[in-house]
A = this chain, B = another copy of it.
Amino acid sequence: MYFHLFAQMKKQLRQVDRWFDKAEAHAKARGFDPDLLVAVRLAPDQFGLARQIDSACDTAKLGASRLTGKDAPKNDDDEKTIAELRARVASAIAYLDSFTEKDFEGAATRTVTTPRWEGRTMTGHDYFLEHALPNFYFHLAHAYAILRASGVDVGKRDYLGALTQTKP
């Protein structure tokens, strides 16, 4: 199931390119530099668009790394343009593409920790459910919300992507 949950995260990260397409079209129509959106925040003391995108990528990337023991690529978190944010998302997707279902065998009972936890640990199961998954969606939805509140006409379909449906 972890493999499928990460596949879904990957699917949603792929949608971000479409959000940026709409963001660039909006900026062009309004006559402003689309890269100005990179620093927009919903509150002055909350992460802006760049850090929300970085955090969504990191929770997916580090989540998969910690559940499998496979090293994750390092990123510099210094994106200043939409193009650099697109590359950051593509890098997270490429890393997630490297996993197979087999990599997640035993993930539930792995011992997970992070530098911030000062020696405390979680099981892979609890870490994924209580931390990685909700943080991923938190930051992804905030990135969307920043664009939406900035006038970009993203909608729920741009967030979810195509659904696997069977016609009657």
- B-binding residues in A (CB < 8 A): 1, 4-5, 7-8, 11-12, 42-43, 46, 117-123, 125-126, 129-131, 133-135, 137-138, 141-142, 144-145, 148-149, 151, 156, 159-161, 163-168
Contact = CB atoms under 8 A, between A and B. Distances in A.
B8 A133 contact: yes
A143 B144 CA distance: 13
B160 A131 contact: yes
Contacts of A135: 156, 160
Q: How many copies does the complex hold?
A: 2
A4 B129 contact: yes
Report, nearest first, the 3 A-B pairs whose CB atoms are least far apart. Answer: A137-B137, A119-B168, A141-B141
A137 B144 CA distance: 12
A166 B122 contact: yes
A167 B120 contact: yes
